[in-house]
């Protein structure tokens, strides 16, 4: 079946602009995660959604970052007033029980 | 979640076993050990996980010490396609706070 998909695959934006990144999880997966990976570094947890529970936002680096998920479907990660340090690959993953399935990521470049 | 410590990089000859160590000395009793790998420019891929007992699947084996403070991922016959960054993660399996905390991992290079 279809895996986790993300769009766009690449996004180039100017400093100060807002961006929206989309994640389509695997159908039926109750959990959804967002991560950030800067060049040459490991994955950095951002936010976690589990069913209808309140999301765990403990990894969001600033109030410019927010994410939404409607039910157990699509999620969007929004970065407001982007900065150059926001340049990274943003990865989304979904899971049903234990194993996480990752999407291909969105490469964000802030000029 | 417990932190993990892994070597930054390792080399392995093609066809030989690759043994990737991980220290997780502060692991809690209800935390699982997970291994993921990330091939260049792709999202991480699940490999294996375990709690106490050693585990084996079609990709790898996971050896967890009796005190659970360290583990080793074994790729029995490494191929060039196994060149990747390997992440060792510990986390609670089920319930709230199921985030994964990835470190920088071990960059494994399989040499022809």
pLDDT tens-place string over residues B74-101: 999 999 999 999 999 887 655 445 567 7
Q: Is A42 close to B105, i.e. CB distance below 8 A?
A: yes
pLDDT classification of B2: cutoffs 50, 70, 90: low
> With contacts defined as CB-CB under 8 Å, which chain B residues touch A103?
43
pLDDT tens-place string over residues B12-70: 999 999 999 999 998 888 888 999 998 887 888 989 999 999 999 999 999 999 999 99
Residues 21-60 of B with CB under 8 A from A: 32, 36, 42-46, 49
Evaluate whether B1 touches B91 at the Cβ level (below 8 Å).
yes
With the C-alpha atoms ordered A26, B79, B86, B65, is the resulting torsion angle positive or negative?
positive
User: What does the block give as tokens for A83?
Assistant: 């900065």
DSSP one-letter string for B80-104: GGG-EEEEEEEEESSSS--------
Answer whether A107 touches B (CB < 8 Å). Answer: no
Task: Give the pLDDT of residue B96.
Answer: 45
Higher-confidence residue: B2 or B4? Answer: B4
Task: Give the pLDDT of residue B92.
Answer: 67
Buried b (16+ CB within 10 A) or exposed e, B13-43: eeeeebebebbbeebeeebbbbbbbbeeeeb
Higher-confidence residue: B94 or A99? Answer: A99
∠ Cα B58 B10 A39 (to 5°) = 95
Task: Give the mean pLDDT of A88-94.
Answer: 94
Q: Could you give the CA distance from residue A18 to residue A60 in angstroms, rounded to a whole number?
A: 16
Task: Give the mean pLDDT of A87-108.
Answer: 90
Evaluate whether A3 touches A100 at the Cβ level (below 8 Å).
no
Task: Give the mean pLDDT of A71-96.
Answer: 94
CB-nearest partner of B98 from A42, A44, A50: A50
pLDDT tens-place string over residues A35-46: 999 987 878 889
Q: Is A97 close to B94, i.e. CB distance below 8 A?
A: yes
> With contacts defined as CB-CB under 8 Å, which chain B residues touch A99?
46, 49
Residue B14 vs residues A24, A48, B18, B61, B81: alpha-carbon distances, Å: 37, 38, 9, 17, 10
Answer whether A102 touches B (CB < 8 Å). Answer: yes
The minimum CA-CA distance between A19 and chain B, rounded to whole Å, is 21
Does the bond joining A8 to the residue before it have cis omega, within 30 degrees of 0?
Answer: yes
């Amino acid at each position: 079946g279809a895996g986790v998909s993300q769009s766009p695959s690449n996004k180039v934006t100017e400093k100060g602009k807002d961006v929206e990144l989309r994640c389509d999880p695997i159908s039926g997966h109750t959990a959804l995660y967002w991560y950030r990976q800067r060049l040459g570094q490991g994955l950095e947890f951002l936010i976690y959604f589990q069913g209808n529970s309140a999301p765990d936002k403990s990894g969001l680096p600033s109030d410019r970052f927010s994410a939404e998920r409607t039910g157990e479907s699509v999620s969007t990660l929004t970065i407001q007033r982007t900065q150059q340090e926001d340049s990274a690959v943003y990865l989304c993953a979904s899971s049903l029980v234990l194993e996480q399935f990752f999407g291909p990521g969105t490469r964000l470049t802030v000029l | 979640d417990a932190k993990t410590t892994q070597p930054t990089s390792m080399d392995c000859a093609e066809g030989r076993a690759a043994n990737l160590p991980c220290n997780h000395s502060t692991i809690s009793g209800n935390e699982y050990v997970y291994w993921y790998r990330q091939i260049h420019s792709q999202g991480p891929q699940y490999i294996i996980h375990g709690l106490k007992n050693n585990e084996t699947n079609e990709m790898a084996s996971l050896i967890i010490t009796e005190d659970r403070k360290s583990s080793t991922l074994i790729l029995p016959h490494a191929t060039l396609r196994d060149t990747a960054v390997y992440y060792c993660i510990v986390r609670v399996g089920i319930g709230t706070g199921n985030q994964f905390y990835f470190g920088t991992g071990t960059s494994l290079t399989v040499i022809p």
